[in-house]
């Protein structure tokens, strides 16, 4: 399968090569244009060899392969995701996008395909099933974040919450054993695990869950139906679980369907 994963491809699309959007047109023309994160690892970023890599990129590649068409990757920023879909610059948006009622006024969403959450992470031998088990433990997090606000509100008495100035300091404190538990986003934890493969970091519980959905242009119901079947197929076949282990270092959690 050919893969165009460069800024040149995005530029060509942006200057007059409209996306097909309809499933029948994609199949007939043999090309699908998919928006992926420009710089948001591990979902998508420019790799060392000049090609885009990441969880979202891998999902886009699987979609093109199952459709039997050529893939053109279009790197986007967060603010470009919906406009690119609405103006036919891309057929799909696979870019760590959460679903909410406001966005659903403009585009349609698939079932969830990827986890995105804040949680508590610790070593395998730490017996932590929920927030109530943090009593008597020291917890490291970055001050002023959503994780800080949420945990401060629900942490049981006896939890020692230690706040750090930025993520780097928080991660350093966990690595040095200064705290028992790390509370952060799953992408931050995944990068920590990748950089320290012997760490054995495990997700203990999820503090705030905001999974990712694939964006489809409003009205393209046939394409949305196909994407939902694709997601179900890759869940049942464990391909999405394999990607979650590869990029997040965790088993794929239960994801909502729409």
What would the pLDDT profile of 27-77 be if each residue is shown by its tens digit? 999 999 999 999 888 999 999 989 999 999 999 999 999 999 999 999 999
Instruction: Return the pLDDT at 10.
Output: 42
One of 2.130.10.30, 3.40.250.10, 3.40.190.10, 3.40.50.2300 is the CATH number of 3-116+211-248, namely 3.40.190.10
Residue positions counted in the chain: 258
Vertex 99: Cα angle to 222 and 113 (nearest 5): 65
- Report phi then psi at 95, rounded to 5: -150, 60
User: What is the dotted CATH code of the domain comprising 117-209?
Assistant: 3.40.190.10
Q: Do strands 138-142 and 202-209 pair parallel, antiparallel, or not at all (unpaired)? A: unpaired
Beta strands in the chain, from DSSP E residues, in sequence order: 3-4, 31-37, 45-46, 52-53, 70-76, 92-97, 107-114, 117-122, 138-142, 160-164, 181-185, 202-209, 212-217
Q: Where does the pLDDT of residue 17 fall: very low under 50, low under 70, confident under 90, or very high at 90 and above?
A: low
- In this chain, the answer to whether the domains covering 3-116+211-248 and 117-209 adopt an identical fold is yes
Q: Which two tokens stand for residue 6?
A: 């460069």
**Distance, CA of 152 to CA of 243 (rounded, Å):** 32
Domains of the chain by residue range: 3-116+211-248, 117-209
Neighbours of 158 (CB within 10 A): 9
What would the pLDDT profile of 182-206 be if each residue is shown by its tens digit? 999 988 898 898 889 899 899 999 9
């Amino acid at each position: 399968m050919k893969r165009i994963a460069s800024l040149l491809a995005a530029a060509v699309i942006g200057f007059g090569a409209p996306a097909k959007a309809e499933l029948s047109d994609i199949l007939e023309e043999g090309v699908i244009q998919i928006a992926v994160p420009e710089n948001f690892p591990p979902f998508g970023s420019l790799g060392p060899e000049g090609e885009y890599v990441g969880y979202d990129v891998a999902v886009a590649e699987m979609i093109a392969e199952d459709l039997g068409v050529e893939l053109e990757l279009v790197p986007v920023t967060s603010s470009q995701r919906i406009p690119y879909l609405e103006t036919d610059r891309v057929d799909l948006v696979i870019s760590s996008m959460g679903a909410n009622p406001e966005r659903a006024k403009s585009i349609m969403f698939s079932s969830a395909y990827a986890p995105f959450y804040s949680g508590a992470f610790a070593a395998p031998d730490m017996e932590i099933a929920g927030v109530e088990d943090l009593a008597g433990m020291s917890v490291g997090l970055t001050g002023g974040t959503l994780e800080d606000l949420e945990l401060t509100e629900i942490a049981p008495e006896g939890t020692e919450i230690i706040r750090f100035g930025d993520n780097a300091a928080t991660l350093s404190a966990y690595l040095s054993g200064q705290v028992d538990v790390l509370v952060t986003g799953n992408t931050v934890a995944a990068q920590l695990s990748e950089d320290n493969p012997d760490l054995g970091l495990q997700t203990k519980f999820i503090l705030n869950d905001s999974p990712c959905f694939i964006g489809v242009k409003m009205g393209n119901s046939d394409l949305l139906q196909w994407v939902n079947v694709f997601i179900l197929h890759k869940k049942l076949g464990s391909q999405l679980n394999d990607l979650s282990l590869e990029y997040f270092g965790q088993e794929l959690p239960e994801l909502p369907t729409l």
